Chain A
Amino acid sequence: MSPTGDLRPSAAEAAPPASGVDRLRQSFFAYSRGQAVVAVLVALLAFAAVTQARLTGENDTYDGLRQAELIQALNGLQSAARKAERDLAALQTTRDQLRSSTQRRATALEQARSELETLGVLAGTVAATGPGIQVTVQDPMRNLSLNHLLDGVEELRNAGVEAIEINDRVRVVAQTAFEDDPEGIEVDGVVLQPPYVLDAIGNPDTLAAALEFQDGFSDDVQQDSGSVSVKKEGRIDVKVTLTPSPPRYAEPVPGQ
């Protein structure tokens, strides 16, 4: 741009004697073709400058970037996306692991709960209901001893009884103790008087047969002038519960 662009004078000493400021003052009110041309070009410059300034102001992040810069930005975004996908996969794996461990825990909890119910019925800590029989033992002569009742309970146990209560007052479990008493029979410290009513949950047919076979419980009681009536029920409620007491001497063997 040497021939036209460089407006610097090579010979400043060739300027007329009037100073630049004077010339400026003079030309301020003098009009010439040169001034009109200058005005047009300056207007063009101002127009372009204002437009560019406005564009720069409203540029968003990627507007006006060159191809190489755009490719760089794209690469950056892609690697960010890959990283996000990796994070996503890792988090999903963690979520699945947590979910399956939660499921396992829920299953174990469910098993433990059902085991608790089973053991609760056996240990007499929960009320139980189900099909079974109601055995009523009449003893008008007070001839029956605890052996008769014990026999009956044993026969029921042999037949697979699952829950027994006597006279709606005593639950019969593994630890239940029977003792003779002048008034009747003492079961777990509770004195029971005849008639004895046994509620037994189990298969009604099996339980009934266990009591009524030849020379069995029913015959024994009748020989001692008592009487037995067995009633099969579709639904027997055993409502008496025991409070479990932790064993004082026996400890569970670990690992079993």
Chain B
Amino acid sequence: MIAIIGLVVGIVLGLVLTPDVPLAMEPYLPIAVVAALDAVFGAFRAFLDGIFDDKVFVVSFISNVLIAAVIVFLGDKLGVGAQLSTGVVVVLGIRIFSNVAAIRRHLFHA
């Protein structure tokens, strides 16, 4: 319940404040969002499995975001930023799909 309220508050804040992203952060934001999405789905699945731990969730959330940003940064430095971003998005997308599949099994037993 509180999580849903948090979701709504975040959306409203983003719409109302319309913050300007610093230019240096611009390439990392989309990857960071996908990584955080992966952490949230993972946490939801863990919750349904009954092994959810808020500390683990916080750490995984932050580390996911940081590692994704570092990979993109490294890729930019190495000159393969575009390819590496694509790779990160693909891997995270696969994880999100498998997590969602597990969640679906829990909720719909299918």
A residues neighboring B (CB under 8 Å):
1, 4-9, 12, 14-16, 18-21, 23-24, 27-29, 31, 33-52, 54-56, 64, 66, 68-69
**A43, B48: Cβ atoms closer than 8 Å:** no
Partner of B54, one of A8, A28, A37: A37
Give the chain B neighbours of A68 by CB distance below 8 A.
Answer: 79, 82
- Which applies to chain B's interface (DSSP): helix, strand, loop or mixed? helix
Partner of A5, one of B6, B37, B63: B63
Q: Which residue of A lies closest to B68 (CB)?
A: A1
Give the chain B neighbours of A35 by CB distance below 8 A.
Answer: 1-3
Q: A42-B7, A50-B14, A68-B79 are in contact. Are A1 and B60 (CB under 8 A)?
A: yes
Give the chain B neighbours of A47 by CB distance below 8 A.
Answer: 10-11, 13-14
Partner of A49, one of B14, B21, B102, B107: B14
Query: Which residue, of B30, B60, B61, has the highest number of chain A Cβ atoms within 10 A?
Result: B61
Q: For the complex of A and B, list the 3 residue pairs with the smallest distance between their C-beta atoms, beginning with the closest.
A: A46-B10, A50-B14, A39-B6
**A31, B42: Cβ atoms closer than 8 Å:** no
- Which applies to chain A's interface (DSSP): helix, strand, loop or mixed? helix
**A39, B2: Cβ atoms closer than 8 Å:** yes
Partner of B33, one of A48, A54, A64: A48
Q: Which residue of B lies closest to A69 (CB)?
A: B82
Q: A39-B3, A47-B13 are in contact. Are A5 and B67 (CB under 8 A)?
A: yes
Min CB distance, A55 to chain B, in Å?
6
Give the chain A neighbours of B5 by CB distance below 8 A.
Answer: 39
- Enumerate 6 A-B pairs (CB-CB under 8 Å) in ascending A order: A1-B60, A6-B60, A27-B1, A42-B40, A45-B37, A54-B15
**A43, B29: Cβ atoms closer than 8 Å:** no
**A15, B50: Cβ atoms closer than 8 Å:** yes
Q: Which residue of B lies closest to A11 (CB)?
A: B51
Q: A7-B42, A43-B6, A46-B14 are in contact. Are A38 and B57 (CB under 8 A)?
A: yes
**A41, B48: Cβ atoms closer than 8 Å:** no
Give the chain A neighbours of B37 by CB distance below 8 A.
Answer: 45, 49
B97 near A: Cβ within 8 Å?
no
Q: In the docked arrangement, what's the CA distance between A29 and B54, Å? A: 17
Partner of A1, one of B26, B36, B64: B64
